[in-house]
Amino acid sequence: MELGGVGLVMLVVVFIYYLRMVGRRMANRQRKDQISLILEKVGILESVAQDRKALLIVEQAQQTHPNQPRLAQARVRIQARLSSVES
């Protein structure tokens, strides 16, 4: 293999690595967008005093995204508000 062939192989390897990296970034971005949409919906429900529905949406979202801290924070916030209203 000549020097040009080695350069071409290296270029292909770098290109494949780049495509994999872009794919991972897109997946992360889509997951973040999903979480943002869920939290936006929850915020709307909270603003019209529909805390039980908001809590239900957060709990459903936590089943698909269990390690998401923003969902956990929303759940704690809503549960605290519900418990203060019931007291």
pLDDT along the chain (87 residues), means of 10: 75 86 84 90 91 94 92 94 83
Model pTM? 0.67
DSSP secondary structure of 9-71 = HHHHHHHHHHHHHHHHHHHHHHHHHHHHHHHHHHHHHHHTT-HHHHHHHHHHHHHHSTT-HHH
